[in-house]
Structure 1
Amino acid sequence: MTSPTPYPIGTPGRPWGAAEKAEWLARQTQRRSYAEEVLAAVERLRAQCEVVEYGRLDYGAEHYPLLAIRSRGWDEALPVALVTGGVHGYETSGVHGALRFVERHAGDYAGRANLLVAPCVSPWAYERIHRWNPDAVDPNRSFRADSPAGESAALMRLVAPLRARVLVHVDLHETTDSDESEFRPALAARDGKPHEPGGIPDGFYLVGDSARPQPAFQQAIVAAVAQVTHIAPADARGEIIGSPIVAPGVIEYPVQQLGLCAGITEARYVTTTEVYPDSPRTTPDACNAAQVAAVRAAIDFALAHPDG
């Protein structure tokens, strides 16, 4: 077995310093437009929902308004359903699945729930199809006090007044082939650790919160998504990406301990979706549809079982 090729930035075994991070940043190029693909889509939704700017990211000469979509006629007596996408900017269906859900289904929940949707938490990374922000920080390991990621800090400020009122939170993600070809090797190099090659599961799966497992909730989502795209099987060890499955298509993490977006509220029902867009068995449209199916199933289950 041959050893993995060393990552092209840094010295193996030595964490990156300022010079290595600057070299990494210099390699990043804009590959798509947040303004044209996300902000314009949000603007089209103003006719049916409220749009709020909850923060702004200033990276050199680049400026990114952070927008969230709220139910029109917000009712303090109703539970809150939170949907987040694009915490990792390269995970495209998280962003466009969230937007599609609002466009096609927000009205279904009028008078039943308050919707709060942050469709693209990490716009700089969205434009560069990347996992990190320009400081080489992963926002989805940074949802904690004194966060080093502006993306994470801004979302936490938005959600803070509602933490105890959120009934269900769905965080939309993807697992891609580039996780193994680029992002995991980059992480190992950044932290001065060896990269241990792994596999990418072929199909959709969920990451539940080990502190709030809610197995019936997770399985309701898996069943809904199975009507749209295939569910990832466990590997020969009964695992998905190194974690044992707790039910078909479901693994669990301690989300708050890891600083994950799914841990930012006290919601009874929490899940992180993982769509596999690189499968030959799916399409971009199917991936967006899978995210929508997951959100609808999650909210529908939570509203039907508000007390667990």
Structure 2
Amino acid sequence: MRVLKMVVKVKNLNFTYKDGLKALSDISFEIKEKSLVVILGESGSGKTSLVKNIAGLLNPDSGRVYINGEDVTDFITASRDLTMVFQNFVLYPHMTIYENVLTALNGFDLSWEDKDIKVKNILEKFGLRNYLNFKPRHLSEGQKQRVAIARALIRKPLLFILDEPLSNLDAPQKKKIRKELKRIYESGSSTFLYVTHDVDDAEYLSTHVLLLDKGHLLQTGTINDIKNHPISLKAARLIYGGEINEIDNGDYPKLVKQIAPNTKTIVIPYRHIKPSENGKIKTTFRSAKIVPKGILLSLVSEEGLELYSLISDDEIIYKENDIVYVDVVDKFFRF
């Protein structure tokens, strides 16, 4: 079995902006070839600062960046075998969409016919085949973002960096482009580094996840590993997208005793609390609303804590003030 090469290695990276804001604190991790690594974190967590340091757009205070085994910390961006799509993408306003994408192939040893085929093929994949001769000002923000992604992906470098690339797309477009990104990743040999605040992106795309918070690397692993074993309350909040019930022993001792005595804080994902005829936890039903993943029930415990339970569409719905007994049906976490 062939040992996978290390495509990216970041070692003890620190970065501070000129205004004194410490954006990255002693960040270290490695990315193997043919991975799709998602950097997941909230706004201001340091995600963009991190990838800009990897890309050479920012210079670290200390620490090193290696790409394909070579120390590139002091290299300019053009000397690193990577391509980028950032949230605030740039297209050449005086060029057509076709010409914008074609510029990515400058310097490639390809015939004009081969370049023409490649450009038209990738624009077809992103639903832009009918816009070849349009200029950026005639496109929606979502269409422009798709052009920027197509332009980046056509080069097939060693490393793709995508910083919130789907942020300007509506839900149907986002789903379609996310599916196309995964197909391109799976059919190629490049390594992807994908920045997002959206857990759904990480669920669908990632082979591995880096959790970032306020410039600190909280946890790394597959998304299932982190979901099954979050090492902190903050990690649990991030990997479940905030969809967790937090129960503090100081405020709700009776409820904590029912679930896990002698625990300071219990965390239960919404989907892990289920109504049950033989449930041990007595609650009062308040409301229900349809969400993308099912139906979200709002329940109140005997001590007045609002609990949320995510159920599937075919499960029973209650009336306001009904007594509902629930159980924890899967993993919960103690902190």
TM exceeds 0.5?
A: no
In the superposition, the TM-score normalised over structure 2's length comes to 0.29
Which has the higher Rg, Structure 1 or Structure 2? 2
In the superposition, the TM-score normalised over structure 1's length comes to 0.31
Larger relative strand fraction: 2
